[in-house]
Structure 1
Amino acid sequence: MTKGLQMSKITKYYAEGSNRIAALDHVSISVEPGEFVAVVGPSGSGKSTFLSIAGALLKASEGEVELNGHHISTLTAKELANVRLQEIGFIMQSSNLVPYLNVLDQLLIIKRISGKVEREDKVFATKLLEELGLGSKLRSFPEELSGGEKQRTAIARALINNPIIILADEPTASLDTKRAHEVVSLIAQEVNSRQKAAIMVTHDERMLEYCDKVYRMEDGKLSLQQGIGRRNRIQQEMSSI
């Protein structure tokens, strides 16, 4: 069974008057466990549509999406909601934390939505937060956190259900340079250590050094950027030896 995320010849059409516009045009990508991929491109290029389809928030007009070898393109709305909850971790532009929940409960509410919160869930959530440098902030509320701490909480929340893939939408948009590097470095570390497939959509080219591969989206088409990204550089260096 193929692991990670595979999107094959994904096309998404929108009606514009009597015309049909392709927001995505035969997009294909494969992201393996432990692989951190960036997608860059101008506004209006199709990045948001791409991420919505990868995250089972939107259905493609054509093409196939697979998570760990399972086709999700034909699932019902209820089945897709379960896929989003159990198999996909989201990190958004703003951390989207619940104002009246402390840091620990930001994670446990995800477990509560999935079912009953067990003792081991609390232990895992605490350990996860400690690993991300938030051990002293378990009882703190969002208004008491810095921007970087909020995003670290969002990273932990994305990992709490042990998802197959992490999708990050402009996770550094509201952060200064130092905090941005800290957050993306943490995402990269967690992706590698926990062997998660991950895609980050970003305008911030300072963050590409943490990614294994970099793709560019333009006019609904996706292309691999040669020579950019850690894995691409290593492959090029090996081929020159």
Structure 2
Amino acid sequence: MTGLVLKNVTKSFKEGDTMVDALKNVSLTVEPGDFIAIIGPSGSGKSTLLSIAGALLQPSKGEVLVNGTDIGKMKEKELSSFRLTDIGFILQTSNLIPYLNVLDQLLLVCKMKGKVTSKEIDLAKTLLNNLGLGGKLTKFPNELSGGERQRVAIARAFVNNSNIILADEPTASLDSNRAFEVVKQIKKEVKDRNKAAVMVTHDERMLEFCDKVYRMADGMLTLES
């Protein structure tokens, strides 16, 4: 099975003397080319789910499969490498490095795997061109608008050709017009490159761009539409 699969995942945390379930028996399948959204109030478990899907947290129970590999059985060193090569993260803020220009923001991710190849440089330039940043390759983050910085972050998430794209409130710091533009661009890259993508969002105006919408409440996930 390709894509992302969560099977009966529970995540428990200790609070004082009691155990609290942040996720309760959650199951989810996201196939390549799917762009799904998860909505719900703060504290409902959305970020915990995203962290488990991104191999940042291990489930207390259940399985997490990425392209058929059970990441719950990996050791920490394997997980670090896996996160670098198989997961692309897009966060609330672009988290760009101030002293790197736009192209080098992407190439740094490639360098973390080893030597940067000409193929990776070409892909980085193609991604930036596709996102309307072809004329900004040598610009630094302080020379970009908020929307442009977030588009660089989108390109960075795709540059390692990761199978899974996880977006955590990617429009939180943007005005409406830029927010719509950013989510449309995420969707386009997901479809064009056949990636499995999950977006956590509070902004229900963005849901029209998603294939399916799930709601998270009290650690439980249900399909809305």
TM-score interval w.r.t. the shorter chain?
over 0.9
Question: Is 2:129 aligned against 1:130?
Answer: yes
1:236 alignment partner in structure 2: none
CA distance in 1, matches of 2:213, 2:63: 22
In the alignment, structure 1 segments of 5+ residues that lack a partner are 227-241
1:99 alignment partner in structure 2: 98
Q: Give the alignment of 1:2-151 within 5 angstroms.
A: 2-151=1-150
CA distance in 2, matches of 1:155, 1:91: 6
1:187 alignment partner in structure 2: 186
CA distance in 2, matches of 1:81, 1:127: 27
CA distance in 2, matches of 1:120, 1:222: 40
Q: Tell me the secondary structure at the aligned position of residue 129 of structure 1.
A: helix
Cα offset, 1:118, TM superposition = 1.5
Q: Which amino acid aligns with 1:172?
A: T
TM-score for both structures, normalised by structure 1: 0.92
1:230 alignment partner in structure 2: none
Q: Which amino acid aligns with 1:210?
A: F
CA distance in 2, matches of 1:120, 1:16: 48
CA distance in 1, matches of 2:42, 2:146: 24
Cα offset, 1:128, TM superposition = 1.2
How much identity, in percent, do the aligned residues show? 61
CA distance in 2, matches of 1:119, 1:215: 40
CA distance in 2, matches of 1:205, 1:144: 30
1:225 alignment partner in structure 2: 224
Structure with bigger gyration radius: 1
Which structure is higher in RCO with an 8 Å CA cutoff and minimum separation 6?
Answer: 2
Q: Tell me the secondary structure at the aligned position of residue 7 of structure 2.
A: strand
Q: How big is each residue's C-alpha offset from its partner over 1:82-106, in whole Å with a ceiling of 9 and x where there is no partner?
A: 1100000000000000010000000
Q: Tell me the secondary structure at the aligned position of residue 139 of structure 1.
A: coil
Question: Is 2:206 aligned against 1:207?
Answer: yes
Q: Tell me the secondary structure at the aligned position of residue 115 of structure 1.
A: coil
1:198 alignment partner in structure 2: 197
Cα offset, 1:122, TM superposition = 1.3
CA distance in 1, matches of 2:146, 2:15: 39
Cα offset, 1:123, TM superposition = 1.5
In the alignment, structure 2 segments of 5+ residues that lack a partner are none
Q: Tell me the secondary structure at the aligned position of residue 100 of structure 1.
A: coil
Q: Which amino acid aligns with 2:9?
A: I
Cα offset, 1:70, TM superposition = 0.8
How much is the aligned-residue C-alpha RMSD, in angstroms?
0.6
Q: Which consecutive segments of 4 or more residues in structure 1 shift more than 2 A?
A: none
Q: How big is each residue's C-alpha offset from its partner over 1:57-97, in whole Å with a ceiling of 9 and x where there is no partner?
A: 00000000000011110100011111100000000000000
